[in-house]
Structure 1
């Protein structure tokens, strides 16, 4: 088994659960809860992880098996594994320099890193780290001129894929963030300051890298905004509500691959097809937006079965391990993304967190493929036990 563990693996943390526990110890409580929590009562957050694990896989032990290869081609690029790093907002708040740490690891392991509009590194910096291989997720601005300029910058940075977000028409109701002062407008309380003082490594690295900012948005922000003004700026500048009329000019402008993230039903996939979208990411924003919604694995199965031959169907939300990646692929996803798992890794291990988490997930997925005698990623659906997705 030792020879098969991927490079960069830290044996002290052999599971995502171990990384989560260590990250909780090292991050200020308000930052960890921002990462870890869902919305309302966390019903959909819990369903996401529970219901994907109801999917069961069938091994074929007497088949003629030679080797298992997890390389996966999507959008003309062959990645070394069928998973990537999902866009996460305010990454540098959770762990200093997190987007750069993860982008570097993704590039070294040849898996995609997706930068969020509201993360804490710029399009240009992440493009430099990844040599133009990072994807970019657009959080839709209210002004067309701002939308066009951000898209232009993503094109100049040679991002191969533009991801447009459709599942945040309104901010999720997140009680933890409200209690911790991380709602809009944010505020820093004495309680938060005391939490920072109790996490010296996080505090020191924040001093080194500077207070986290929305780096991609800096050119458009008035100088010297206080926290209350920042909240007002974000509220006035962005509208997460998408419709066909808002997507059409993006499709006309963007010459690369275009992906719609946050799809949760067949009707929206039909519209995406009409608009010339190249792929969809079935997602419920990690259970952070609609507590009364479905877990992601359920619409994924329906959408993949109906539309999988017409566009690239991918999934995030609820995937926390190599076996979870296998379950999603068996249920019809061509590719998968994870956000929290990688942020737990960085919170636990800092600069080595990205490398370790990718190595852990590769090792777990390789073991599953060899165990069930699955030679190629595209063969996973043959191993799905029907009625379990």
Structure 2
């Protein structure tokens, strides 16, 4: 009798690489380039993934193993696995209705989904489809009025966690986007239209769900903005650094857990702790902002293992994780929770409505197997298997 898989997923696509290959020919090139690209020569994008290859874990085969528990407690909630779905802008451009697909699946599987300010579904809609479980990532507006209104909307839907993005003082130079016309304002040139025509399912679903827009920001836009005016609105509304004063103001206004995303240095870590935030996400924005920086993993190793920060704030990471093995490696060097963006977009791009469930179960199955192989019962035990 064949045993039913604990975490069932489509065996034709057992890895992120398989999902990426299939997604590549189902998503128009201009949208896929936006998803997979980094800034400048994309060196830091590559380091985000390749630096994981230098982390080694040791098994303990003669140890008696008990039942494996992958759950993790975070900000008063217990999640079924130690990973969540990262915020990504323009998700509905890469695959129609992607935010809702991912938010629904995350809620069903008890992992966090994080909605970006510049994604293509609204705060209210994602709260509805996720049963109020979705987190929110704030691009800090230039006007306090707009900031306060967004925070009030989040409070009204009982958003459980607010994530403030700090690593976009300017928009990275992403050559793929510049060439394709997906800078702000976006341009649908003849080449991009042709690319969309040869991806019929993407086109049909786009017609079904409508042309993607910045749904959360619609109440603040004048009706009938053309693309040029939209670009001016975005530049006017979100250009500017996030500093200590701005985070302090949000800390005073926000009653729930507050997380800073984009922390990559001791200076910013110390600032975050002094402001009383509840968690940080070590991240380099997926290699999309600064090509000369460290990978997220290297920054994590330095910060998570500094005794000055132990126990003072939840330390999480985002960037470069492509397998359950990588999840184990991240925990082994100090991460308490992890986020992934591109792998989940590859999943929905490859498999549509089934892609979110598939990708979540795929990562769970991979992590479970690693824990079996190392004879671990809890995610928090990974550091004991690190080969230093």
Matches within 5 A, 1:232-271: 232-271=232-271
Corresponding residue for 2:352?
Answer: 350
Other-structure match for 2:133 = 133
Inter-partner Cα distance in structure 1 for 2:271 and 2:288: 24
State the 1:4 CA deviation: 6.8
TM-score after normalising by structure 1: 0.98
Q: Secondary structure at the match of 1:262?
A: strand
Instruction: Provide, for residues 143-187 of structure 1, a one-character-per-residue CA deviation record: whole Å limited to 9, x for no partner.
Output: 000000001111111111000001111001001100100001211
> Any idea what SS the aligned residue of 1:115 has?
strand
Whether contact under 8 Å (1:165, 1:240) holds in the other structure is no
1:231 aligns with 231
| Structure 1 residue 239, shift from structure 2 partner | 2.7
Which whole-Å CA distance do the structure 1 matches of 2:71 and 2:321 have between them? 19
Q: Please give the alpha-carbon distance, in whole angstroms, between the structure 2 residues aligned to 1:234 and 1:77.
A: 34
Deviation, 1:7, is 4.1
- Cα separation, 2, equivalents of 1:3 and 1:321: 24
CA contact (8 A) 1:35 1:340 kept: yes
Alignment check: 8 A CA contact 2:7 2:365 kept: no
Contact 1:107/1:133 (8 A) holds in 2: yes
Whether 1:45 and 2:45 are equivalent positions in the alignment is yes
1:326 aligns with 2:328: yes
Corresponding residue for 2:143? 143
Return the offset for 1:56. 0.7
Listed one character per residue, the Cα deviations across residues 208-252 of structure 1 (whole Å, up to 9, x for unaligned) are 000001000000011111111111100000135111011111000
Query: Which residue number corresponds to residue 282 of structure 1?
Result: 282
Q: What is aligned with 1:91?
A: 91
Partner of residue 368, structure 1: 370
Within 5 Å, give how 1:64-213 maps onto structure 2.
Answer: 64-213=64-213
Q: Mean alpha-carbon deviation: is it higher for 235-244 or for 158-167?
A: 235-244
Kindly tell me: are residues 164 and 35 of structure 1, through their superposed partners in 2, closer, same or farther at Cα, counting changes over 3 Å?
Answer: same
Residues 67 and 370, structure 1, Cα contact 8 Å, conserved in 2: no
Counterpart among 362, 369, 387 of residue 385 in structure 1: 387
Q: Kindly indicate whether the alpha-carbon contact (under 8 Å) linking 2:86 and 2:113 is maintained by their aligned counterparts in 1.
A: yes
Give the match for residue 309 of structure 1: 311
Aligned length: 386
Alignment check: 8 A CA contact 2:7 2:364 kept: no
CA contact (8 A) 2:85 2:341 kept: yes
CA distance in 2, matches of 1:6, 1:24: 29
Q: Which consecutive residues of structure 2, in runs of 5 or more, have no partner in the other structure?
A: none
